[in-house]
Structure 1
Amino acid sequence: MSEELDDLSVLDEMDIPEVMRDESITITTTKQDSRSGVMPLLIGGGIGFGILAVGAIALWQFVLVRSIPSETSETTGASTESAITETTEPETTSNTGVQPDQLLGHFAYDEAPSWELEFVYPSGTLKLRPAAAEKYRQMSAAARQNGINLKLISGFRSIEEQEYLFFEVKEQRAQDATKRAEVSAPPRHSEHHTGYAVDIGDGNVPGTNLSPSFENTAAFNWLQSNAARFSFELSFPRDNPQGIAYEPWHWRFVGDQDSLELFYKSRNFSETAAESDTETEN
């Protein structure tokens, strides 16, 4: 019997948690009762702790899930607002007073590629774009039938040639840049670069060539009445908005889409901007 009690004592030491042990208590029937009461308490406490832990985890996941869409929404909203701002900002920018590329009253023009030019006359040296060359030949032939001798003085002009006409002649005549620009465009700003512009004189009165007195010739009067039939117009009439000196000899071709846009888009933009500035000042 004593051996059995000793074995039971060892078993109790192994089964009972360390925190519940009390070496001063002897193995009695009361000890058995205490152990039977503690175990349910431990089990119940463990289950309660587990429930609390699961609840805490579930609550944390719920809060996390709720917070993610909010952050995404805020980020997306900010990105969308930024995109809208970037897209619409140019529309709110005013062009009032902004001028296209101009220098001393002359618009900028690219030099026509050499392969897009042709000789106006096979025996001549002057070139134009094909559409302009064809219409000039037709116009000259029509004028000749009316006894008018149109003289083609100038057609396409390269940037290099324009540099001489502007800078070298300016020095020879002791003109300042502003004065020279009244009668000659700075390089890269001449209509002659385009292959659509021509200088016309009267073959019967050569002394009026490239002079305001050309307006008194039969050739000019004929051009005034008939040039539009061949899609040519005067580039710099009196009191033109660009402030260029009156040039009755300088005409340009506007008979196709390319030439029309080339000359009129810049002109319309400039005139619209100038009108807007005037309205603002008033």
Structure 2
Amino acid sequence: MRNQPGILVNTPDVELWPAYLLRARGNRDARTLARAHRVLRRKRDGRYLVAELPEGLMPLLPRWRREPGIDAALDALDAVPAHARSGLQVGTLPLHRLHERMRTLGVDADAYARRTGLPLVAEPDRLALAGFDRYRRPLWLHVDAARAWARLRAAAHRDGVVLEAISGYRSHDYQLGIFERKRARGLALDEILAVNAAPGYSEHHSGLALDIGAPGEPPAEESFDATAAFAWLTGHAGEHGFAMSYPRGNPHGIVYEPWHWRYRPAAGRA
């Protein structure tokens, strides 16, 4: 394994995943993933493109070298060992293609920003493994938020409260997919925008936000505010740098989300 097996290297079109965290999608994948360090995965649909093995690259998709953004991903792959030696320095990806993507949804980006007051949110170029969510999926967060989430969960546990992660980092492509799936189910655009930020405007893109739940409770439901977990968060989350982003009557026009909390690092806090 690489020196930092719990790091996701992020590029605009392709993610570089630690191979041990990925599920095989067939016998050939299983044999390859068992020996791989990292796998380059297409962000828009999760397709595996190529695996990095000790002896070199193993294609997992025909014509993978023609994939958009593959050169940037290969450059990032080459930089991983030096990056691991020098420590984790987190930068951000460029905010590109977002207006084009919003036009495909029928959203006027400038009008949306004026109406909601939400800023564009860049994706980090490195994300840290912060454990696993309720569904046993890898939970990726900004490195600072990953550390803070571990402290938050530990403090709650000491008080007899169990906090579950429902989801953390989401790419711009993932957010676009949410909209496309909901539109396919017949939901109107305004209905979706009432509960989901437009692609590029979700706090989840930063890796600093996560949705929190409690065992036995449905995910991302207003009923979460009646739980002991929510009561504990209300009283203690601020001590660990977390705040609820969308309370009732928030100025962004987003529905009340008692489950959505964002890490806001203060000076001197890491």
TM-score class normalised by the smaller sequence: 0.5 to 0.7
Q: 1:160 to 1:106 in 2, by over 3 A?
A: farther
2:118 corresponds to 1:107:
yes
- Residue 186 of structure 1: aligned partner: 198
CA distance in 1, matches of 2:152, 2:243: 12
- CA shift digits 1:102-149 (9 cap, x unpaired): 17626233332332x111128861111111111110000111111111
Name which of 201, 206, 210 aligns with 2:220. Answer: 210
Name which of 240, 243, 249 aligns with 1:233. Answer: 243
SS at match of 1:102: helix
What stretches of structure 1 move > 6 A for 4+ residues in a row?
none
2:213 corresponds to 1:201:
yes
Aligned-residue sequence identity (percent) comes to 35
- CA shift digits 1:180-212 (9 cap, x unpaired): 111111111111001111100002x232x2001
How does 1:242-253 map onto structure 2 within 5 Å? 242-253=252-263
How many aligned positions are there?
156
TM-score normalised to structure 1 length:
0.51
* Residue identity opposite 1:153 in structure 2: I
Flag structure 2 segments of 5+ consecutive residues without an equivalent: 1-109
CA distance in 2, matches of 1:106, 1:241: 8
Q: Which has the larger radius of gyration?
A: 1
SS at match of 1:162: helix
- Residue 82 of structure 1: aligned partner: none
How does 1:70-149 map onto structure 2 within 5 Å? 102=113, 105=116, 107-115=118-126, 117-121=127-131, 125-149=138-162
- CA shift digits 1:212-244 (9 cap, x unpaired): 111111111110101000010000000011111
Query: Given that residues 124 and 142 in structure 2 are in contact (C-alpha distance below 8 angstroms), is that contact kept between their aligned partners in structure 1?
Result: no
- Residue 33 of structure 2: aligned partner: none
- Residue 231 of structure 2: aligned partner: 221
CA distance in 1, matches of 2:175, 2:129: 19
CA distance in 1, matches of 2:150, 2:166: 14
- CA shift digits 1:59-114 (9 cap, x unpaired): xxxxxxxxxxxxxxxxxxxxxxxxxxxxxxxxxxxxxxxx8971762623333233
* Residue identity opposite 2:208 in structure 1: Y
Query: Given that residues 124 and 207 in structure 2 are in contact (C-alpha distance below 8 angstroms), is that contact kept between their aligned partners in structure 1?
Result: no
CA distance in 1, matches of 2:114, 2:201: 7
Root-mean-square deviation (CA, aligned residues, Å) is: 2.4
TM-score normalised to structure 2 length:
0.53
- Residue 172 of structure 2: aligned partner: 159
Flag structure 1 segments of 5+ consecutive residues without an equivalent: 1-98, 260-282
Query: Given that residues 109 and 191 in structure 1 are in contact (C-alpha distance below 8 angstroms), is that contact kept between their aligned partners in structure 2?
Result: no
How does 1:20-99 map onto structure 2 within 5 Å? none
Query: Given that residues 111 and 158 in structure 1 are in contact (C-alpha distance below 8 angstroms), is that contact kept between their aligned partners in structure 2?
Result: no
